[in-house]
Structures are given as structure tokens and as C-alpha cells.
Amino acid sequence: MNFEQLIQSIESTHVQLSSQAVKQVNYLQTIRNWLIGYYIVEFEQNGEDRAAYGVKLMENAAKNLAHVKGMAISNLRNFRQFYLAYRWFSPFMTNQATFFQIRQTASGEFEGTDIALALPIETLINTLSFSHFIELLRLDSDLKRRFYEVEAVKNAWKVRELERAIDTLLFERTGLSTDKEGVIAKMKDPKPFEAKELVRNPYFLEFLGLEEKTQYSEDDLETAIIDHLQTFLTELGRGFCFESRQKRITFGNTHYRIDLVFYHRILKCHVLIDLKVGKFNHADSGQMLLYLNYFRKHEMTEGDNPPVGIILCADKDDALVEYATAGLENELFISKYMLQLPDKQTLLNFIETELRNH
């Protein structure tokens, strides 16, 4: 063996075993999520005290599982939907639960469902990640799901390739085309698997109990400004209490991150801050409205006022501060918020100083 062969052997071993490790984690994660979905449905149907929880089952479960990473209400809903769409995994999952000696709920058995399988269950679970299944759950028929399952496995699609195939109506286009193989061939991605892609997969990180770091999603300029802004607002002395950075909220396979979240002890509300290094556009306001609606529904507690959002847009030629006060009950509340929050000129000066220093 010469030196070049040594390097090739090391690289090959690393790539192959890293890939196998990822597959094993994905495999176990998929089993876990299906089982959790099963337990939720089983409780809804047969739980002795299910009536006491009713429509707020998911909310109550999420609160009681707050200490377990990855058990947010959106994830629990995904797990439930996953089980309902793939009940026919039941025979296989029964064996897995027994193998891992996982305690089952009251029924003791999983309910099997007869279905014409396009691919063996083992092939799907060993090949597709849970993020793939999240995309498949978007589909409105089993036939479409079978089609995309086969093509995703056959063509080794990454999640984004599967998402693109669904969004561009590959199923419908293939059905209408005479050259079906040619239509599908255009979807192939020649890029090889890279393990570093996993640091961007929140489901994977949650399952392993790993921390999401801001460096995964921010460039140096944005990170530096947010660092200084966090300190600036905390030291401003107006009631800002730091709560979270890069707060993630998830809808299906789409993940949003709020740059900074504070709780204002005087206003008794959350203050959400989002930084845009580029210029402000209408989509930024829409995104902030999404954040505010989410916090209004899932994060407000008794005695809290509605959250308020601040959008900071930093551009080398322009700087803008936009307050999002949609949903506040009246002008009196808005005035109260504006009195306690930093005025726009103060924040504008902060952004301009940051940009000059970079």
C-alpha cells in the first residue's frame, strides 16, 4: 500500500461508515416516531381518562413532555399523522417493539391493515428518513404516496429532491407524459451524500439530543449583529429579559427561526426580534405575523399581553426598523408598547453603527 492508497482507504472507510451510522439513526428515529403516533391514537380511542383531555390532548402532552427534546406539539401531531398514514407498518413495528422490549399500551397489539405494498416496509424504513416521511404525509392519496416512495428509494433522493418532485407535480406530469422515464430522470441529483448536511436537520438533532447552533444557519455578519443586539437590549434597562436565541418553530418539514426572543417584565409580553441583513420586503412582515400568531396560540400564558415583533433590516445602503403590532387590541395598547420599547431611532442608530464596524 502506497501513501495515496492509504488516504483513499481512510476516506472510503469514513464515508461508508458515516453513512451507515446515519442510516441506523434514521431507522431508529422512524420507529420511535411511529410508535409515539400509535400511542397517541391508542389513547384517543381507548384511554381511560381521554375525555378529561379532549381536544387539548396534544397541548397537555407537549407540556408534560417539555423535558424531552423534540416533543413539541407540532412534532407530536406529525407523529400521530405518520402513524395514521402508515398503519400498515403495524406487523413490522410489533416485532421492533418486542425486539427493543418497548412497553406497549393497553391493547398490547398493533392493528394491521391490508394494503398493496409497492415496496417492503423494511426497505422504506431503512432507506427513507423521517424527514422524507414528513414530505410524503403532505400527499392526499395513497397512490401518490406509493409513487413517490418508489421513486425516492430508486433514485436515492434527498429530502429536498423529494420536496421538489412533489411541488412540481411529478406524479401528475409523469402520468400525462409518454416518456415517463425521461420526466423522472430530470429529477436526479448527482451530488453524493455528505454527513455534514445532518447538522441542518432539526429532527435528527432532536432525536440525538444535540444542540442546534446558530452558526449552522447564520453568516458572520448576522451572528455578530445579533450577539451585540442581545447585549444592547439587556443592558438598556427597560425590562427586557432574555429568553431564547434562534427560537425554532416548525410546521411540517418547514423550520423557522426567530433570531431573539425576550420577555418584557413591564409589558408582560414576549418581544420577538428578527434581523434581515438584506433589504426589507413584504415577506418579512408576513413572516413576523406568522411568529406572532404562533406565540399568541402556543406561548402566551394567563396574564400575558399579546406578543410584539420588531423587524430589523440591515443593508449597506439602507436600514429600517419595522414594528409589528398586528393583533393588539387597541391604540392604547399600541401606545403603551411604543412607550416601553426602544424607539425606532435608537434601533436605527444601533444598526448603522454595527454596519459601519463591519
Q: What is the pTM of this model?
A: 0.61
Give kind and range of the element (H or E) at residue 168. none
Domain range enclosing 63? 3-208
**What pLDDT was estimated at residue 330?**
55
* Count of structural domains within the chain: 2
d(CA 209, CA 70): 8
Q: Which letter, b or e, does each residue of 78-100 get, where b requires 16 or more Cβ atoms within 10 Å of its Cβ?
A: bbbbbbebbbbbbebbbebbeee
Q: What is the pLDDT of residue 103?
A: 63
Same domain for 227 and 336:
yes
Same domain for 255 and 181: no
50: number of CA atoms within 13 Å, CB side? 10
The amino acid sitting at 248 is R
Q: What is the CATH number of the domain that holds 254?
A: 3.90.1570
Which of 208, 229, 246 is where one domain is finished?
Answer: 208
29 with 124, same domain: the answer is yes
Does 183 share its domain with 239?
A: no
219 and 328 inside one domain: yes
Same domain assignment for residues 35 and 117: yes
If asked whether residues 195 and 226 sit together in one domain, one would say no
Residues 202 and 228 in one domain: no
Beta bridge partner(s), residue 35: none
Q: Is-contact 328 199, C-beta < 8 A?
A: no
Q: DSSP string covering 256-316, please?
A: EEEEEEEEETTTTEEEEEEEESS---HHHHHHHHHHHHHHHHHT--TTPPPPEEEEEEEET
pLDDT at 352: 80
Task: Report phi then psi at 324, rounded to 5.
Answer: -105, 110
How far apart CA 60 and CA 183 sit, in angstroms, is 46
- Shortest CA distance to 34 belongs to which of 88, 73, 74, 72? 88
Q: What is the pLDDT of residue 170?
A: 85
Q: Are residues 164 and 178 in the same domain?
A: yes
Ramachandran area for residue 169 (φ above 0: left; ψ -120 to 50: alpha; else beta): left
Same domain, 218 and 307: yes
Grid cell of 273 as nine digits: 426580534
The predicted structure's pLDDT at residue 91? 84
Do 122 and 264 belong to one domain? no
Whether residue 201 is found in the same domain as residue 239: no
- Domain boundary pick from 182, 208, 234: 208
Per-residue pLDDT at 216: 45
256 torsion bin: left (phi>0), alpha (psi -120 to 50), beta (else): beta
Which among 157, 177, 208 is the end of a domain?
Answer: 208
The residues of the chain scoring below 70 in pLDDT are 3, 103-118, 176-183, 185-221, 316-317, 326-337, 358
